[in-house]
Amino acid sequence: MKRLVLNTIPYVLIIVCYGLVGEYFLFENKESYSIDRVTTLQQESETETYYCREILGNSLSNYKFQMLKKKQPTGVMVLGQSVTLQFRDFMFEPYQDDFYNTGLMARNVKDLNYVMDLIDQGDLNKPKLILLGVDISFFLEHTILDSVEWTRNYPEDRAISSKSHLKGIQRIFLNSKYRSTPTTNYGFGRAGMSGRGYRSDGSYRHKPDIERYLRDSTYNDGALITYLKNRTAPFIEPFLFSEQKKLQYFEFLERVEAMDIELILYVPPYSDVYFNQAIQDTMFNAYWKQFMGVQQELTTLGFNVIPFTTPSKIGLTDHYMVDAEHPGEVMCAMQLQRAIQQKRLEGDIIQSLTFSMVNEYGKLEYVIPISFMNDPIDQLLVKQTQKKV
């Protein structure tokens, strides 16, 4: 047996060396920091930090849920998909320190109800105000987002999964990009270290888009229109509106109201470039009419709705969008502030929002359409450019 062990050792050593080298790069890129550790460090940090892994994957609903449980906001909670990720804490002053944006944690109505269950059970604090994104995916008859309960059955943290580590190490060895460590150290995970990712308030910093704008003031609509034309995700046929899911959504809204939580329903915008083309598409158009029917019904029922718009309809340009479907933070803040100023949103908490920080940041010289540029690391970028809106 000794002979077998001795003869096997060289092969085992190859595997061990491979693993150690890979783990070194994962550690250097702060990819192997567990979600538990990241959320603790983010909460404790006095400066803004970002979380986004590039090699191992984010296990996002896990991360968001752990952070939510640690933050336990009693002020404002943002719920919804990626379109809500630009709502930031300072937009909800005076509740900026009692805020969390859970964007991309709850992906379907079951998830939303689960969050309410946790509040009911006392596992989560009851927030005074919820801003909820009214995403078109909530009413789709068939969507992959319904396949899992993302919050209740959140994915395993990939930093503690041996298979994810093995896959990550493969990437490191096959792609030299991952073998170079970021020169900056602004957060956790390879992207987080370079300043792209989820802030401690749950919102997302679009680093490449900010840098692109600073570089050449251009706007990139992305590939959403191509997805629509090719009927690829998220436009997989049959792209049908579900009355049943609408009913479930409305039941959820009633539940929130019954819990005495103020509610703002945010119908996210599309870029003009995208929307003008998409509306010509028969499949999209048919769905859109029904979706707008929901918006109308919500308004009629007296819910606080920030209605659908495109940038041009509110006097902006597509430059205020990150891409075809994601509004930038400046546009989000403007939509929210205007809706309150125009008395379209009711509620004590809503009326108590002061927007003084938004106004202050808005006056800054270097605000760009998709960012207030108020993160500490934005100042470095600001110094490199003279561009302003």
Partner 1 sequence: MKFNSIEFLIFLGVTFFVLWSVKRNLKVFNILLLIISYVFYAWWDYRFLFLIIFSSLIDYTVGYWIPKSQHKKALIGISLSVNLGLLMFFKYANFFIESFQDLLHQLNLQANYQTLSIILPVGISFYTFQTLSYSLDVYKGKIKPEKNLVAFLNYVSFFPQLVAGPIERATTFLPQFSRERIYNYPQAVAGLRLLLYGFFKKMVIADNIGIQVDAVYQNYDTNNGFSLYVASALFFVQLYADFSAYTDIARGVAKLLGFELVKNFKTPLFAKSFPEFWSRWHISLTNWFRDYLFIWLAGLNKKSSLWRIISTIILFVVIGFWHGANYTFIIFGLIHGLGFIPRILSRNNKQIRKALSFLNEHKVASIFSMLGTYSILSLTAVLFRSPNITTATAIFRSITQDFGSTLNQGLLSVLPIALGILTFEWITRDKKHPFYVENLHPYVRRTLYVVMIILILLYGYFGKEPFYYFQF
Contact stretch for partner 1 (CB under 8 A) within 68-76, 122-130, 158-166, 333-341: 158-166
Task: Name the token pair of 307.
Answer: 């209605």
Number of Cβ within 10 Å of residue 359's Cβ equals 12
Is residue 365 near partner 1 by the rule CB under 8 A?
no
Phi, psi of 306 (to 5 degrees): -95, 110
Q: Residues 249-288: x/- map of binding to partner 1 (CB under 8 A)?
A: ----------------------------------------
| Cβ atoms 311, 275 nearer than 8 A | no
Round to whole Å and give the CA distance between 125 and 72. Answer: 6
Q: Which is nearer to partner 1, 41 or 148 (CB)?
A: 148
Q: Burial-class residue 380 by CB neighbours within 10 Å (0-12, 13-18, 19+).
A: exposed
Q: Burial-class residue 112 by CB neighbours within 10 Å (0-12, 13-18, 19+).
A: buried
Residue selected from 69, 110, 167, 344 as contacting partner 1 according to rule CB under 8 A:
167
- Binding-residue total with partner 1 (CB under 8 A): 17
Round to whole Å and give the CA distance between 389 and 387. Answer: 7
Q: Which is nearer to partner 1, 3 or 343 (CB)?
A: 3
Residue selected from 4, 6, 233, 258 as contacting partner 1 according to rule CB under 8 A:
4
Q: How many residues appear in the chain?
A: 389
Task: Name the token pair of 112.
Answer: 């939303």
Q: Residues 170-209: x/- map of binding to partner 1 (CB under 8 A)?
A: x--xx-----------------------------------
Is residue 162 near partner 1 by the rule CB under 8 A?
yes
Q: Which is nearer to partner 1, 148 or 349 (CB)?
A: 148
Round to whole Å and give the CA distance between 35 and 17. Answer: 26
Positive or negative torsion for Cα 63, 65, 70, 75: positive
Q: Residues 9-48: x/- map of binding to partner 1 (CB under 8 A)?
A: --x--xx--x------------------------------
Q: In what order do the strands lie in the sheet with 50-51?
A: 187-188, 50-51, 197-198, 204-205
Residue selected from 6, 7, 282, 300 as contacting partner 1 according to rule CB under 8 A:
7
Is residue 343 near partner 1 by the rule CB under 8 A?
no
- Footprint on this chain of partner 1 (rule: CB under 8 A): 1, 3-4, 7-8, 11, 14-15, 18, 162-163, 166-167, 169-170, 173-174
